[in-house]
Amino acid sequence: MTESEIYERMETDASHDALNILATELPEPLILMGGWAVHLTVNESYTREHNAPYLGSRDVDLGFHIDVDASIEELRKNDFARTLEILRRVGYWESGTSRFCRIIDKRTVRTLNEMEAGNIPLYDLFYLYIDPMVDRIHPLNNEAFKIKPIDEPLLADAIENEKMREITISEKTILIPRPEVLLAMKLSAFPRRTKDDKKVKDACDIYALIWHSNRPSREIIDSIKKDHPELIEQLMDQFTEDIVVKASYHLGVEPEQFMGVISQLTE
């Protein structure tokens, strides 16, 4: 069985390029979460085993610490506020209440405005999303930022208890939650996914974080059982035959091997 990308290579390449550019533009240290954080955590081990890089991501998830005691003047000058300004300056626009987006023509890899995109078939467009996430929502959030970021309590735990590791991208310092934190985030999100591709990608990431984090899988799983036992309850019901087959295909492993790794969570 050979590995197969979940998303089009053009989409993940564009997302990866955006990450590198943002790393140079945004305040340092940048906190990276989501699919690219998983990729950077597992890619070395996965590549050794499969002679191919680990799956890329379509979106870029960024994390921020919010001081809930800060004044509105302080909020408007913090790294989160500066990041929102920079995202707008480099060509992203608000999409909905919590995301930023840039539209790319798949044929030319050119960034389009909304009017230009309206004249192109949807299948030729790629919507590159930047998702800013915060550890807490400030009471004055709406007044200070005019968007409602996604709040991720597990990020607060990672920041407060120093469950981060440091890497370098484009000569800039990047902070990534440790594997057990990323796994907890994936286990939390997995049952709530409604889109098939997102659920399959989460299933792949859960497997990879257990098996390819360059740390003993038992150590990572024991950490989850100790700190977040509620995330494991009824988890196995989410791994339907369809999800297992698809995730195994994209990972380049047999379904039996996939479930052998996943089942360690409930042993």
From first to last of the 267 residues of the chain, give the pLDDT tens digit: 345 789 999 999 999 999 999 999 999 999 999 999 999 999 999 999 999 999 999 999 999 999 999 999 999 999 999 999 999 999 999 998 899 999 999 999 999 988 999 999 999 999 999 999 999 999 999 999 989 999 999 999 999 999 999 999 888 999 999 999 999 999 999 998 888 899 999 999 999 999 999 899 999 999 999 999 999 987 888 999 999 999 999 999 999 999 999 999 998
Same domain? 183 vs 171: no
Same domain? 104 vs 165: yes
Question: Where is the domain boundary, 121, 143, 177?
Answer: 177
Same domain? 115 vs 201: no
Question: Where is the domain boundary, 136, 154, 177?
Answer: 177
Same domain? 159 vs 253: no
Q: Which residues contact 237 (CB under 8 A, 6 or more apart)?
A: none
Same domain? 12 vs 122: yes
Number of domains in the chain: 2
Same domain? 102 vs 11: yes
For tokens 């960024």, the residue is: 62
pLDDT value for 82: 95
Burial class (CB within 10 angstroms; exposed 0-12, middle 13-18, buried 19+) of 43 = middle
Domain that holds residue 234: 178-267
Same domain? 131 vs 228: no
Q: What are phi and psi of 12, to 5 degrees?
A: -70, -35
Same domain? 183 vs 213: yes
Same domain? 14 vs 133: yes
Q: How many CB atoms lie within 10 A of CB 21?
A: 13
Regarding pTM above 0.75, the answer is yes
Tell which residue, 105, 128, 109, has the closest CA to residue 117: 105
Tell which residue, 205, 220, 199, has the closest CA to residue 251: 205
For tokens 């004044």, the residue is: 71
pLDDT value for 214: 87
Q: Give how far the C-alpha of residue 45 lies from the chain's centroid of Cα atoms, to the nearest Å.
A: 19
Same domain? 158 vs 27: yes
Give the span between the Cα atoms of 28 and 83, in whole angstroms: 10
Q: Give how far the C-alpha of residue 50 lies from the chain's centroid of Cα atoms, to the nearest Å.
A: 22
Same domain? 139 vs 115: yes
| 3-state SS class at 104 | strand
Same domain? 145 vs 241: no
pLDDT value for 3: 54
pLDDT value for 4: 74
Question: Where is the domain boundary, 147, 177, 207?
Answer: 177
